[in-house]
Amino acid sequence: MLYYSTRDASSSPRMVTAAEAIKEGLAPDGGLYLPETIPALTEADFDALLSMDYPERAAFLLSKYLTDYDPALLLEDCRAAYAPEKFPEPDDPADFGQRPAPLHPLADGITALELWHGPTSAFKDMALQIMPRLLSRALVMTGERRTAQILVATSGDTGKAALEGYRDVEGVAITVFYPTGGVSPMQARQMQTTRGSNVNVVAVRGNFDDAQNGVKRIFADRELAEEADLCGFFFSSANSINWGRLAPQIAYYVSAYLDLVNAGRIRMGDEVNAAVPTGNFGNIFAAYLAREMGVPVKRLICASNRNDVLTDFIQTGVYNREREFYKTVSPSMDILISSNLERLLRVLGGSALTRDLMASLAKTGKYEAPEELMEKIRSAFSGYSLDEAGTLSVIGETWKDEGYLIDPHTAVGLGAVRKYREETGDPLPVILASTASPFKFAAPVSAAIGLEEAEGGLYDGLRRLSSATGRPIPAPLAETETLPLRFERVIDPAGMAGVPFEH
């Protein structure tokens, strides 16, 4: 399996191996890497996957895309990445299915796919525990002797998950940029207290798009790349623009469907819908790839918060980032430039159109997709958004009616499901991506379920929420209370280019 750039419209596009794509992160022309084909799962594949545990499933699916990797080593890496000490068994007796991504049944045929049982209590762990292993092997496979300088822009969870995955990994250094005031207090605390000798964390004045654009400018700067080479390192990415980050996410959608079959909640071949709260479009694009591989997902429900650029695009065909930016209670979705949407545009619209649309976005801040392309997109995707009041209402109702505590991002997804069903009457079962522990957002969750604001600081709020709900504070969050703050630096976006050279 070879990979090409989404923006390479030449008659003979540059093709690279999976290892090269993972090492580079972003293509030289600024595009994102895609596999030359989307592999199809056969009936025999599904039968075999049913009896596998999660690491086996993940390795099997990754081997379909990473054909230059040794399948035995992929399985070894998946077993290490998803080991019980990193993803312990869930403590809710209602949960079922495979750890590390168990399922929790909700009313009306909705099932929450809990992706937050890992080292940082967010779904990003599902990819970022395996991705460093994929990169390390890629460095060896490509004969790379330089240090890989990982650059990450985060709207909250990716940063800490990447830091945790890459800390003290040989041959790698990592720098994370996050927007000032644009992450939750717990997300900031997690990043600021990160351990490791090869890590750096810097806050950027502005929003997530300012941080993400700064990272993209570094990748696109040839002079910086040459300077980095002279210093003995090269730039790569741990954001979902890197194929090594996105590919592992396909596995949990396939696994969720199989777990529903094994639990007798659906039969093999039954259609389901999938709902994904997303800002950067990577998580839902992974669900789309699972669908294209053969998982019978009828509709992909794309859920946005008040920053509803994706909802508007799906509904109107116009992508316009030139709009007011809102800081919300679901900060990991506070994004106006959804990078992974580019991959969908390429799959359904071709390279030339994708290149032109991306050029328009860079130049004018918007683009309008042709109706023929939008018909293809709408045949698979529906887009809905939830405002702040709606998000808090869903959290409160879910706790009151079902005794199930959810975070604001999951609430946006659940609210989108309800809007979709009201509009369409579609009764199909739904797999809902639950993307973070509610304790990462203790203040809004507490307010939503009727708790008065706790006196004291962040950790008093965590303890109050735990006491009121009977749910334990996840250990990765509790431990940050006693860890020293290491990274409190704040810079302007213009200063980002110099930071990687400080390692």
Beta strands of 305-401 (E only): which ranges? 318-320, 366-368, 381-385
Which positions ≥6 away from 300 have C-beta within 8 Å?
A: 273, 274, 275, 276, 284, 287, 288, 291, 380, 381, 382
**Closest Cα to residue 75, out of 93, 63, 88?**
63
Query: CB of 328 within 8 A of CB of 307?
Result: yes
**Nearest-10 crossing angle of helices 131-141, 71-81:** 150
Residue 78 tokens read as 């998946």
For the chain, how are helix, strand and coil distributed in percent, rounded to 5?
A: 50, 15, 35
Please indicate whether residue 363 is annotated as part of the active site. Answer: no
Alpha helices in 269-340 (DSSP H): 282-293, 309-316
Query: CB of 451 within 8 A of CB of 141?
Result: no
CB atoms closer than 10 angstroms to residue 343? 24
Sign of the C-alpha dihedral computed for residues 100, 212, 379 and 381 taken in this order:
positive
Residue found under tokens 């959608």 = 253
Question: For residue 148, what is the DSSP state?
Answer: E
Cα–Cα distance measured from residue 256 to residue 260, given in angstroms and rounded to the nearest whole number? 6
Three-state DSSP class for 173? Answer: strand
Cα–Cα distance measured from residue 55 to residue 83, given in angstroms and rounded to the nearest whole number? 9
**Pairing label, strands 272-277, 430-434:** parallel
Catalytic member of 23, 64, 124, 160: 124
CA 148 distance to own-chain centroid: 21
Three-state DSSP class for 483? Answer: coil
Beta strands of 378-477 (E only): which ranges? 381-385, 430-434
The conformational region for residue 168 under phi > 0 = left, psi -120 to 50 = alpha, else beta, is left
Cα–Cα distance measured from residue 28 to residue 30, given in angstroms and rounded to the nearest whole number? 5
Q: Which residues are known to be catalytic?
A: 124
